[in-house]
Chain A
Amino acid sequence: MSDRPTLPEILEGTLAHRAESLGEVVPIGLDAVARRVEHRRARRRAVAVGGSVALVAACAAGLLLIPRGDEPAPGAASPSGPPATEVVDAGGLWKCEGLVGTDGGSTYFEDCEQVGDGTQITLTPDQLTATPTTAAASAEQTYIVEAGDSIFEIAERYGVEMDALANYNRWDNGIDHVLDVGEVVRIPPVVATPPTTSG
């Protein structure tokens, strides 16, 4: 009988040996986890001031402005036509990975990271003239399914219809498709509608 180890034995042995070599792993204090929970909550959703095409364009370009309180940021582009550059006073400056969608006057983003407490940023002409539809469609959104997710929840989260999700991903069973944990779901682009202008 051969005494060469089988591959499963090699795998177990290698991983066990590495675990031992790491030595003792001591959990850090729970307050660090509490801070991380707060950070995740702050990151998960950031809301642009409703209605301003300039702000939505800036957000789609990767910058997101969070004004203090709920009042619109002073100096925000008026519907009658933005100047070549725009200086906006904001309560915080965040950089976001993905435009998720719009809901009435609010725009939602995922994976936001605070990059400064910048009180002012300048929007370039490109950022001001970029339409949200172009910017949103340029980067495909995807979502990795986690345990407990449902098609309904994913659709809700991204502001898309369940049927749209099923069609975009070409699921054979449509909305009866069974999600696998770890499956990559492609999110159909959301067409953000700029507010109508009066001039």
Chain B
Amino acid sequence: MGAAPHIAHRSAWAAPDDTDLTVTFEELYAEQYAPMVRLAHTLVDTVPRAEEVVQDAFAAVYERFDRLEQPAAYLRVCVLNNCRRVLRRRMLRRRQPAAVIDDGELGFNHVVDAIRRLPARQRSMVVLRYDLQLTDAEIAETLGVPIGTVKSTLHRAIAALREEIHR
């Protein structure tokens, strides 16, 4: 990838005076590929589909890398947006009769299915919190929303999941 930008970026969570924590695109790729594929897999079922989503997200990050303040956060948003498109297409397909629902390598899971059926914003926050273990502040920064929005959205998401799972 000859044209890969070797522009140093502060790691998303580095302290301002921490000049050693800079990230090139290659480093971001090596560090984030697996976690992002696991994140996407939660939402889109199969590893090939998850990799497709993640590679597309990395391509989007690459195209804007020299303009990004927070490449890791932007990457997460791209992955989530791509997953949303996949899920939306799947919802549309399900309206047709005799659609085969692909449960992927790990089979059907009631909890994961409930997460997938949450509204997009709630779903994103749930996976960022419980899959990537991000804090409220980190989620707020990733999605570009106030911390208060994160707290209230997660609260609603948990309430919705509780009702769904204990049904």
Which residues on A are within 8 Å of B, measured CB to CB?
7-8, 10-12, 14-15, 18-19, 21-22, 24-28, 30-34, 36-37, 39-41, 144, 146-148, 180-182
In the assembled complex, 24 residue pairs joining A and B whose CB atoms fall closer than 8 Å, in A order, are A12-B133, A15-B130, A15-B131, A18-B42, A22-B47, A22-B106, A25-B34, A25-B38, A27-B33, A27-B34, A28-B55, A30-B1, A31-B1, A33-B29, A33-B58, A34-B4, A39-B59, A40-B59, A146-B81, A148-B68, A181-B77, A182-B80, A182-B84, A182-B143
Contact size range, B: 35 or more
Q: For A31, list chain B residues within 8 Å (CB).
A: 1
Q: Kindly state the separation between the CA atoms of A33 and B75 in the bound complex, as whole angstroms.
A: 14
Residues of B bordering A, CB below 8 Å = 1, 3-4, 26, 29-30, 33-34, 37-38, 41-42, 47, 51, 55-56, 58-60, 62-64, 67-68, 70, 73-74, 77-78, 80-81, 84, 105-106, 109, 111-112, 115, 120-121, 124, 126-127, 130-131, 133, 142-145, 158, 161-162, 165
A181, B38: Cα distance in complex, Å: 22
Number of cross-chain contacts by CB at 8 Å: 112
Separation of A12 and B127 alpha carbons in the complex (Å) = 9
Cβ-closest 8 pairs across A and B? A27-B33, A25-B34, A11-B130, A36-B59, A30-B1, A34-B1, A14-B111, A19-B38
Specify which of A10, A28, A33, A40 is in contact with B111 (CB 8 Å cutoff).
Answer: A10
A27 to B127 alpha-carbon distance, docked (Å): 21
Q: Does the CB pair A36–B55 fall under 8 Å?
A: yes
Report the nearest B residue to A14, measured CB to CB. Answer: B111
CA distance A7 to B68 in the complex (A): 36
A37 engages B59 (CB within 8 Å) = yes
**B18 CB, nearest partner CB in chain A, Å:** 23
Identify which of B62, B120, B127 contacts A33 (C-beta below 8 A).
Answer: B62
A28-B78 Cα distance, complex, nearest whole Å: 18
Tell whether A25 pairs with B131 under 8 Å between CB atoms, given A18-B109, A147-B77, A182-B143: no
Residues of B within 8 Å of A33, CB to CB, are: 1, 29, 55, 58-59, 62
A144–B84 touching, CB < 8 Å: yes
